Amino acid sequence: MTAVVIIAHYLTVFKCNHITYKRLTEKELDTFIQMRINQLREEGATEDVDLTPYLQDYYKRHLADGTFVSWLALDGEKIVGTSGMSFVERPPIFSCPSGRLGILSSMFTNPNYRRMGIAKELLDRVVSEARNNGCGAVHITASDMGVKLYSAYGFVHNENFMQYKL
């Protein structure tokens, strides 16, 4: 290894050692929502809608009733990564006899903290939440950046996903 690679690796490991993880509470909700909006913009969303009140309503209701969980990555007090899992139920199918699904969302890592294992750690935590909630599958609509992470984790493409906008 060259000295530059060794130093870069050391800095990555050193920085990661300072990352802590905690579940989202209402206290962090404003920052979480701003990061969610930033994520959607980074992924190419161009709609001019103020999502803040809609996200506030959604997260407050679903955090309270346990149908949404999120793990955060923190560097000190600064939130540097987010994740989210919504729990829904649909009629059972052969690939998911429980009918309970985890819908993965809000996977976002601050660009200065990417490629350090943070997203994988957050993904581990929310997938565990889905397993503990009796989900038989986890679904996500992955961004181009996320496909590599999710594929490596074991997610597979479902070419049948379609959407009808109301």
H or E element at residue 13: helix 3-16
- CB atoms < 10 A from the CB of 83, how many? 27
What band does 4 get if pLDDT is binned at 50, 70 and 90? very low
pLDDT in tens, 95-119: 889 999 999 999 999 999 999 999 9
Which residue ranges make up each domain of the chain?
3-153
pTM: 0.84
d(CA 69, CA 48): 27
Question: CB neighbours of 151 closer than 8 A, spacing ≥ 6?
Answer: none
Distance of alpha carbon 30 from the chain centroid? 16
CATH number of the 3-153 domain: 3.40.630.30
pLDDT in tens, 116-162: 999 999 999 999 999 999 999 999 988 888 889 999 999 998 777 77
